[in-house]
Structure 1
């Protein structure tokens, strides 16, 4: 489980890469540091002819993602675009006592986690087209990506999450957003073979750094395969999207169960640091059937992974 110091160092490292994104990166970095010390200062970012305000959390998110090339920010005709989408400053997540949850633009979450900023404020999944399609969301965590896909028009989202705490919070978030009819939660871990997945007994905020791999332990949950998910939920993978963010299970699934992976029309894959040097091996397999874009691979000193977006040829 990473300490607060470790997380802070990650953000600082990412913030240093913000010099490749923001014209006034140094003043932003200083002001960001002041907010972490409790000072009430505004972060006004500048890209070309565009000037816009960022919350400290969104700046931190964009800076970290900039550190591995997963954010593209541009100013076109005086308007700002993040990963190809026009950006409008939409305020912050506000705690609402009436629902005991955080709210922004009618989207509700029981708690605010780092991944919520990544998904809703930093454009992590903007390139994907899920409208009218089924999404198999592997590593659904607290349901942030599942809610996002549903809001983007997904017909169904099969949300697979092994961690019991994250899964319980996902159930809360599904109810808060009235998405019981769209999001199907599954408390299991993805594996290439049936069996069990041993869940590390860590807090919710730390599970994003942990690979829950095949094995048996007191906290084990069922292992589910892609084939089982396809059959159980009557999924037509040729018109479905497979999202995998499972902290390392991709190095089991893609080499060992590619016969089911290749059935999906579109893949969104976040690969991770334990297999950084094996990325080329994954791409050799995926390039048989997909045209893939890799964000972050060309930044040589980055060791924590990045995002792969693949479309069937």
Structure 2
């Protein structure tokens, strides 16, 4: 952030805080490590109420106010006041990204164009605003969505005309939020949520450190090896058989499970007419060329959305992370 912007943001913060000057100065001293110990900032709002704020949170509030994304800050409830008057608690401040893309928060849910989500997550923006899955036409087709997270892609496919979506998500918290989102959008007849992992038959262990924003899970084949949440894992072929799924479209964004699915259960993969998946070579330590060699037997594949990934995931090279779209040519 440039010096001029910092100064302008500080001056505009006069409309938020009575002690704007001392607050801004203390923030900079903490930011540059000139104040040690208790770094919490004491903010005095225009109504006289006070609030303790972490320095990085104060900086974020000052900047989003400068950008016009919020209308104010309420010390009493420790919430930012949005332009429509709704209040967003500080522990949900990361969700403010939705406002940049025209989503509205009504105090409980985010909504836009008749679509609703309980919480704003970055994959919702990727799916609905950045068109991550516009490479496939799902109208009238059955979609197996492996790594459905909070239901963003499953809801997208259903609204785009999919006949049925099997939304597979192992993370218990993400799965529960997906159930709420499916209900909010009235899509229970089109989307079948399944709390299971796809890859091998066994157990997926989700570490206690993996909250809803972390999709990283590790395979564990025995109860003893798992100190976190145990979720059953199933092979793709067994999943198809268990739920009598018509294999039309397979979407995968499962943080590395795509290697297990493609390399160890290829007979099930080749049943699908179309694939779209994100590969995570950086997480598995295996080159994407392995996947392409296996798929070349039955599919014509191409890298897609490379500009999107370069912009929003610049720390990864093409060899480490990307998206592939495949059409069955058999």
Name the TM-score, length of structure 2 as normaliser: 0.64
Q: 2:322 aligns with which of 288, 294, 306?
A: 306
User: 1:94 maps to which residue?
Assistant: 104
Displacement after TM superposition at 1:304 (Å): 4.7
User: 1:291 maps to which residue?
Assistant: 300
1:266-294: CA deviations, max 9, x gaps?
Answer: 11110012246510111011111111111
> 1-side partners of 2:319 and 2:288: how far apart?
11
Question: Within 5 A, what are the aligned runs for 1:124-163?
Answer: 124-163=132-171
Q: Say whether the 8 Å CA contact 2:145–2:165 is kept in structure 1.
A: yes
1:38-70: CA deviations, max 9, x gaps?
Answer: 354489xxxxxxxxxxxxx9xx99xxxxxxxxx
> 2-side partners of 1:227 and 1:271: how far apart?
20
User: 2:244 maps to which residue?
Assistant: 234
Q: 1:202 to 1:108 in 2, by over 3 A?
A: farther
User: 1:199 maps to which residue?
Assistant: 206
Q: 1:211 aligns with which of 217, 232, 236?
A: 217
Displacement after TM superposition at 1:258 (Å): 0.6
Q: Say whether the 8 Å CA contact 1:163–1:207 is kept in structure 2.
A: no
Name the TM-score, length of structure 1 as normaliser: 0.67
Q: Flag the structure with more relative contact order, 1 or 2, with Cα contacts below 8 A and sequence separation at least 6.
A: 1
Question: Within 5 A, what are the aligned runs for 1:1-313?
Answer: 37-41=63-67, 92-97=102-107, 100-192=108-200, 194-208=201-215, 210-216=216-222, 217=226, 218-237=228-247, 240-272=248-280, 273-275=282-284, 278-295=287-304, 296=306, 301-302=317-318, 304-313=320-329
What residue ranges of structure 1 are gaps of 5+ in the alignment? 1-32, 44-56, 62-89
Q: Say whether the 8 Å CA contact 2:205–2:217 is kept in structure 1.
A: no
> 2-side partners of 1:288 and 1:117: how far apart?
34
1:157-181: CA deviations, max 9, x gaps?
Answer: 1111111000000000010001111
> 2-side partners of 1:197 and 1:277: how far apart?
20
Q: Say whether the 8 Å CA contact 2:251–2:276 is kept in structure 1.
A: yes
> 2-side partners of 1:203 and 1:276: how far apart?
20
Displacement after TM superposition at 1:201 (Å): 2.5
Q: 1:214 to 1:288 in 2, by over 3 A?
A: farther
Q: Which has the larger radius of gyration?
A: 2
> 2-side partners of 1:276 and 1:244: how far apart?
18
1:65-98: CA deviations, max 9, x gaps?
Answer: xxxxxxxxxxxxxxxxxxxxxxxxx95111124x
Displacement after TM superposition at 1:214 (Å): 4.3
Displacement after TM superposition at 1:36 (Å): 8.3
Q: 1:175 to 1:309 in 2, by over 3 A?
A: same
Displacement after TM superposition at 1:130 (Å): 0.8
CA RMSD of aligned residues (A): 3.0
> 1-side partners of 2:300 and 2:61: how far apart?
42
Question: Which secondary structure state, in structure 2, belongs to the residue aligned with residue 229 of structure 1?
Answer: helix
> 1-side partners of 2:177 and 2:199: how far apart?
23
Displacement after TM superposition at 1:236 (Å): 2.1
Question: Which secondary structure state, in structure 1, belongs to the residue aligned with residue 166 of structure 2?
Answer: strand
> 2-side partners of 1:266 and 1:276: how far apart?
26
Question: Which secondary structure state, in structure 2, belongs to the residue aligned with residue 213 of structure 1?
Answer: strand
Q: Say whether the 8 Å CA contact 2:299–2:328 is kept in structure 1.
A: yes
